[in-house]
Amino acid sequence: MDRKTVYVVDDDGDMRFSLALMLEGEGFLTEKFASGEAAIAALQALAENELASVCLLLDVYMPGMSGLEVHSIINRERIPVPIIYMSAHATVAMAVEAMSKGAVTLLEKPFGRELLKRAVAQAFAPAPDFPPHRARRQHEETADEYTFTSLLNTLTPRETEVMRCIVDGNANKQIAYDFGISVRTVEVHRARLMKKLGARSVSDLVRMVLTSGKP
């Protein structure tokens, strides 16, 4: 397969059609699946060289096998395909589990064409495996960690505390109760820290913290 193919896995038929339309408009081929079981069967039927041109756009909540369960099977079977999660009800715990399984990212529905395009481009980006690239990658990762550390230093002590609570999966109401402040105050701290760190979503924030290894 010369062109890249995105397997769109969602039990909602209208959503499958809409996503496939967007992706095909960006030049990708698509295959649509109503269940994780069907997608796994299709992947298992592909040759190794064909798998190199495929990525999964995978809904988290589906009847039967969930997206996270699908990912567990793909990891267990050692099927080398990048996975992009999507969910209308994303939580921090979900984002943490998704990233720990090796997901490219988690898109929170509804999302637009540009965000989808960037996620798929990231999924298909070649891994720099040659020695000169390894050195460059290590340098880039070190630079990214330094940048994130610098951004963390711009947070106030309370913003840092709120960030840690968010990453731990606590809701605004729980954070407000723990700190003895109003929910509105938590929302303000949350908005400010997200802006300072350049995080577009909770899943983005979780990924940044997990990647950096910072508490």
DSSP string, 10-47: -S-HHHHHHHHHHHHHTT-EEEEESSHHHHHHHHHTS-
CATH class of segment(s) 131-212: mainly alpha
Ranking 34-43, 90-99, 137-146 by mean pLDDT, the lowest is 137-146
User: Which pLDDT band holds residue 101 (cuts at 50, 70, 90)?
Assistant: confident
> What is the location of CATH 1.10.10.10 in the chain?
131-212
Q: Cα–Cα distance between 210 and 206 in angstroms, integer?
A: 6
Residue pair 67/61 in contact (Cβ under 8 Å)? The answer is yes
Residues 97-107, mean pLDDT to the nearest whole number: 84
Residues 181-198, mean pLDDT to the nearest whole number: 87
Whether the predicted pLDDT of 142 surpasses 90 = no
Whether the predicted pLDDT of 145 surpasses 50 = no
Residues 14-26, mean pLDDT to the nearest whole number: 95
For the full predicted model, state whether its pTM sits above 0.75: no
Q: What is the pLDDT of residue 213?
A: 61
> What is the location of CATH 3.40.50.2300 in the chain?
5-124
- Give the CA radius of gyration of the chain: 19
Residues 89-105, mean pLDDT to the nearest whole number: 80
Please state the CATH superfamily assignment of the domain spanning residues 5-124 in this structure: Response regulator (3.40.50.2300)
Q: Which residue has the higher pLDDT, 21 or 141?
A: 21
Q: Cα–Cα distance between 114 and 118 in angstroms, integer?
A: 6
